[in-house]
Every structure is written in C-alpha cells, then in structure tokens.
Amino acid sequence: MAATRKIYDESGYELLRNSMVEHQIVARGISDPAVVRAMLEVPRHRFVPPELVDSAYDDTPLPIGDGQTISQPYIVALMTELLEPKPDDVVLEVGTGSGYQAAVLSRIVKKVYTIERIPELARRAKELFDELGYDNIEVFVGDGWEGLPDFAPYDGIIVTAAAPEAPQPLLEQLKVGAHLVIPVGTFYQRLWRFTRTPEGFVKEPSIAVRFVPLVKDEI
Ligand code: SAH
C-alpha cells in the first residue's frame, strides 16, 4: 500500500485538534472547561514520532518507541478530569512517555513533576517542553513505584502505566483531599481514583482501560 503520510500546516493541525476535542472529548462527556481548553491548546502532533503525525489526532493510542505508547486523547482527558486539577496545584505524573499527559496538566496547574524510567524518553520530553516553552514541568529519570518524595505531598498524582495495585508510596505522597488516578490490573485493567481522607482512602472505579505495565525494576 502506498504511504499516505499527509503533512498539514499548523492551521491544519489546529482544525484536526478542534475536531478531536469536539468528537472524542466533549461528545463523550468531558465537561471541565480547563481540561477542554488544555486539550485544545497542546499540539499533540508534536508528541508523536514524525512518521505518525498524520494520525496524531486519531481516536487511538500510538507507539512512541521503546515499546511505549502515547495514550488515546480521550483517556488523557478523562484522567485529567478525574484528577480535578486546580490552578494552584502541584501534581506528579508517573510515566512521562511522550510528555503529552504532562503537557496537558501543565496548562491547568502551577507545577508538574513527571518521572520516567527510560532516559531517552525523558530526554526527548524535556527537549520538547523547552521548545514549547512549557517551563512549569520538571522531568526526572527514576522508578515511579517510589513516587518523588522530595516534592511531596502532591495535590494530585496520575500514573499512566498499569500496576497490579496502587503503590503505597504514591498513596502516602497525596495531600488530604487529593486524588491518585491510576490504571489497576494486569491483563484486565480499570482506571481507579483514590482520594486521601483524614481517615484513610476512598476508592472509586472508572472505565476499563489498557495501558503498558508499570515496570518494577529488579534491584
Ligand atoms: N503519559 C505518557 C504515556 C506513557 S506510557 C504520554 O502522555 O505519552 C507509560 C510510560 O511509563 C512509559 O514511558 C514507561 O517507560 C513508563 N514507566 C513504566 N514503568 C515505570 C516506572 N516504574 N517508573 C517510571 N516510569 C515507568
């Protein structure tokens, strides 16, 4: 089959992005105006490999190299909405990947810390944040199972890789009232939202999902 790579100009990508938000995000019930605004703003086509730019606004996850993926736009919007982000929040993301989820969060909150175990992905994401002028994101290379205790507690934590259960260190790095949004499960996974209360944690289910695993490095 002939290659069908299309090259749009920036206004072409903007049209695709507007259509993505209308049909994939708003039509499916995402209603937080800050989330909708961020999804309209962040140039998703900059976060996918060059050979996939024509698919950047499709209703699907895409490969980003190293066996990893950038999540489907709707899933990014849903996880962001579940987090209930506010302008003064300091949030943590585990699993930087392409950097797209961190970029979306960074348009809503004050500060985003994001941690990635693959140095090459972390490096590329950081470069892109610099290029786009997203200067409220800090990228760390490390093991997200432990969270990022140096800047804890957080107003919210998003994990973009699936774990068999919510890692205890992440729960402990939440402020009271803050949410942890995480896909839980091995083959069959579901998105869960944990909320820290003065007494412990409240756990709410969301939709079934499919994420790459949160890797546990053997020491
Ligand atoms: N949020 C990303 C999608 C990430 S895919 C985006 O918007 O593009 C999941 C990412 O989690 C991968 O990049 C993977 O390398 C990373 N990851 C997996 N296990 C990890 C761990 N233990 N610590 C940190 N990152 C991890």
- Quick check: is 149 in a domain? yes
- pLDDT of 146 above 80: yes
Q: Please tell me the distance between residue 46's alpha carbon and the centre of ligand 1 in angstroms.
A: 18
DSSP assigned state of 21:
I
| Ligand 1 binding pocket includes 184 (Cβ within 6 Å) | no
- Measured between alpha carbons, how far apart are the two ends of the chain, in Å? 46
Number of domains into which the chain is organized: 1
- Quick check: is 214 in a domain? no
Report whether 79 contacts 191 (CB < 8 A).
yes
- pLDDT of 3 above 60: no
| Ligand 1 binding pocket includes 100 (Cβ within 6 Å) | yes
- Quick check: is 45 in a domain? yes
Instruction: Calculate helix-pair angle for 73-83, 33-41, nearest 10 degrees.
Output: 140
CATH of the domain at 105: 3.40.50.150
Domain span holding position 22 = 10-209
Residue whose structure tokens are 């937080």: 32
- Quick check: is 2 in a domain? no
Tens digit of pLDDT for each residue in 71-120? 999 999 999 999 999 999 999 999 999 999 999 999 999 999 999 999 99
Phi-psi region of 135 (alpha: psi -120 to 50; beta: other; left: phi over 0): alpha
Q: Please tell me the distance between residue 37's alpha carbon and the centre of ligand 1 in angstroms.
A: 24
DSSP assigned state of 210:
-
- Quick check: is 219 in a domain? no
Q: Which residue has the higher pLDDT, 61 or 9?
A: 61
Length of the chain: 219
- Quick check: is 68 in a domain? yes
The residues that are catalytic are: 71
- Quick check: is 216 in a domain? no
- Quick check: is 192 in a domain? yes
Report whether 180 contacts 166 (CB < 8 A).
yes
